[in-house]
Amino acid sequence: MRMLHTMLRVGDLDASIKFYCDVLGMKLLRKKDYPQGEFTLAFVGYGDESDNTVIELTHNWGVDSYDLGNAYGHIALGVEDIYGACEEIKKRGGKVVREPGPMKGGKTEIAFIEDPTGYKVELIQRA
């Protein structure tokens, strides 16, 4: 077994694709409308789905926002230079909601950013 994807429901599909591709550097791998179900699926990631775990962005037509609740945590991405990555994300229009620094009670350097729907993405400094 292997993990294939994580699905996020998004209110503005174009803004979400722009964020994950233009701000985080992923690629739009595929996108398809399902008129009978009234939804669109877009898959984004850093590599082909055959070898990489990706994110499925689901846009339900006519729904522009979601109550994210308090159970969802975050997606985590490893980065080589967390400070440089946060500066680049800001330059690309991304929202850093927790600046880089050591995690509470630890030494690992982390930061958090937020996508257009409000989902958190954790950046973790790779050793």
The CATH number that applies at residue 14 is: 3.10.180.10
67 in a structural domain: no
The verdict on 55 and 82 lying in the same domain is no
Instruction: Work out the average pLDDT over 26-52.
Output: 97
21 in a structural domain: yes
69 in a structural domain: no
- Please give the residue range of the domain that contains residue 30: 5-60
102 in a structural domain: yes
Is residue 91 over pLDDT 90? yes
User: How much is the pLDDT for 72?
Assistant: 87
70 in a structural domain: no
Q: Which residues are catalytic?
A: 122
Least confident of 64-68, 83-87, 90-94, 110-114: 64-68
Pair of tokens at residue 83 = 């400070």
The pTM for the full model equals 0.90
For the chain, how many structural domains are there in total? 2
User: How much is the pLDDT for 127?
Assistant: 78
Percent above pLDDT 70 for the chain: 100
26 in a structural domain: yes
Is residue 69 over pLDDT 90? no
Is residue 20 over pLDDT 90? yes
The verdict on 15 and 52 lying in the same domain is yes
68 in a structural domain: no
User: How much is the pLDDT for 22?
Assistant: 97
